[in-house]
Chains A and B, each alone.
Chain A
């Protein structure tokens, strides 16, 4: 992981004070340095060693009261081992520690800060690993060095975090171990059992029948859910109708009262006729108005469309409600099943018999079963996340290994090509410096001899002249062949050289990819640790829920 410590750490005044303290400690010649030349029983040496222990304890543990009881000698040894390894300083330069952190901190100080600020031993180790990786980015550390460093960091984490580290390691081991793998014979038997059961037609039929009955039960449940989802709408409709009917009845009663009052008034005799006439007039005029309005504005298509939209909206809403109710019911059913499953296992591991277990499980209220089921589902999700994170980390690890192998091959091939280039160059030089002068000299000599015979006016068929000419031609051909061979060798040498350069460039490029994969792997490791911690939390939560529910 390439991320730095949060900026709040950098700006924290007390932390800065500690940084200064740590630097001061590291810059001061240590009593241990002085002790190296002294007798072990020297009193001054013993005092100085004690002071040094105290300084180292202070530096690594700081003011964290949780870490004050640690063994100073073990701390000192672990610190010195790590400090020497991680800062890559020769022993004689220990008095001036390398400042190689981007924040201006050497690794030991960085480590102490990490310890003081990081609660989780896993995170502490990751941060130290990142530091180590950053220091070895240009020249990658060998696998052995990495192992040594990991072991040292683990020792340091163990010393500093004590019991917490042991718990952390135990969790990691628990997560990585498959309980079935503890006994190879048992595992083998179980694999055989699986095969036997899978191959048996009777078993398949039995499971199939039972599952079919359960699935039919589900169909019934779904119908019930659908009916239940439809019921609220009917109930709402009934309530609305009831309210509106009641209002209408009330209004009619009021109107009848008014009418009877008016009718019983002697001063208003004949008013009924007047009222009726008036009402008829108003109704007629109203009808005329309505008809006019309808003709003008009412659009039958719009009405139909609106009605359709209303219907669809109603249907969607009803559908959503139905789906929601169904999903809830499904989840409840699944959670109950998960709860029963885990309870069966827990009770069985507690040596509780079948009937008693069944009694306990069936006596649990639905609400408690749901709670256990929810906790179990969360735990399962965390388990899946751990498994995915582990797969991701292993994927990066594989890629990193593959790339490392590639880089090694490329580098070796590059060196081989360079070696060939040098050998060809050496052979070409040898031909040029040793063989070519000899041939040239012989050719000159043959030329001279031939010239002498030509000057003597020998006839063309003279055997000596012919022999001299033949020798001259032969040597001239040999010289031409040598020159051509030297040229060919130079070209071949250049080709090998270019190939070596190309391979080297590829190797460097691959190193970059390796660094990226390493970064991703460290990130994935951190993620895995986080997920593992989350899994542990959820596992504990599940245990608590089960304990509370059963007791």
Chain B
């Protein structure tokens, strides 16, 4: 199920056909993910960045490492969603067109 559903978009004044809706939902998800990652990486100290880089290929410990080192992950995601949805709402006329 996509993060953005059609009803939600209609509620914020965006009406799209199926294809455009899917494209927007996909773009939303990708952008959000990129921003969250950038934000996480920007917040790391150089030592943490090096530590994480060393975890390449060790998917098992990655999640635990994130929990231990990025304590504000929840807030980061929440803020990025708020910002992105705010931007979508601001640009809704362009998106609808």
Contacts and interface: CB of A to CB of B under 8 A. Distances in A.
A and B associate: yes
Interface string A189-201: 1101111111111
A340 B75 contact: yes
A201 B66 CA distance: 13
Interface of B is mostly: helix
A288 B74 CA distance: 76
A219 B7 CA distance: 9
B95 interface: no
B78 A333 contact: no
Contact of B77 (A185, A196, A210): A210
A357 B75 CA distance: 12
A340 B79 contact: yes
A207 B32 contact: yes
Contact of A189 (B13, B32, B53, B74): B53
Which of B37, B38, B44, B56 has the largest number of chain A CB atoms within 10 A? Answer: B37
B66 A190 contact: no
A542 B46 CA distance: 26
> How many B residues are at the interface, by size bracket?
35 or more
A242 interface: no
A214 to B, nearest CB: 4
A198 B79 CA distance: 19
A146 interface: no
B50 A222 contact: no
Contact of B89 (A183, A211, A330): A330
Interface string B73-91: 1111111111101110110
Interface in B1-32: 3-4, 8, 11-13, 29, 32
Given A204-B33, A330-B89, A197 B41 contact: yes
Interface string A515-542: 0000000000000000000000000000
Contact of A200 (B13, B36, B59, B82): B59
Contacts of B97: none
Nearest to B83: A337
Nearest to B38: A194
A210 B89 CA distance: 20
A326 to B, nearest CB: 7
Interface of A is mostly: helix
Contacts of A44: none
Interface string A358-378: 100000000000000000000
A202 interface: yes
B12 A211 contact: no
A208 B56 CA distance: 21
Contacts of B38: 194
Contacts of B41: 190, 193-194, 197
A201 B33 CA distance: 12
B26 to A, nearest CB: 13
Interface string A322-334: 0100110011011
Which of A185, A207, A210, A215 has the largest number of chain B CB atoms within 10 A? Answer: A207
Given A197-B37, A206-B66, A222-B11, A330 B56 contact: no
Given A215-B4, A222-B8, A345-B43, A193 B82 contact: no
A109 interface: no
A340 B80 CA distance: 10
Contact of B53 (A183, A192, A206, A338): A192
A327 to B, nearest CB: 6
Interface in A304-345: 323, 326-327, 330-331, 333-338, 340-341, 344-345
Nearest to A355: B71
A196 B56 contact: yes
A203 B89 contact: no
A341 B3 contact: no
Given A196-B55, A212-B3, A331-B86, A337 B46 contact: no
Given A186-B46, A323-B13, A206 B63 contact: yes
Interface in A53-76: none
Which of A200, A323, A357 has the largest number of chain B CB atoms within 10 A? Answer: A200
A294 interface: no
Contact of A202 (B39, B63, B77): B63
A131 B63 CA distance: 60
A354 B79 CA distance: 16
Q: Lowest 10 A-B CB distances belong to which pairs?
A: A334-B86, A337-B82, A337-B79, A210-B77, A330-B89, A214-B81, A192-B53, A189-B53, A189-B49, A202-B63
Interface of A: 183, 185-186, 188-190, 192-204, 206-208, 210-212, 214-215, 218-219, 222, 226, 323, 326-327, 330-331, 333-338, 340-341, 344-345, 348, 354, 357-358
9 contacts: A185-B50, A192-B52, A194-B37, A197-B41, A199-B59, A202-B62, A203-B63, A207-B77, A334-B82
Given A198-B33, A202-B63, 16 more contacts: A189-B50, A189-B53, A190-B41, A192-B53, A192-B56, A194-B41, A206-B73, A207-B77, A215-B3, A218-B81, A226-B11, A326-B13, A331-B89, A331-B90, A338-B79, A344-B75
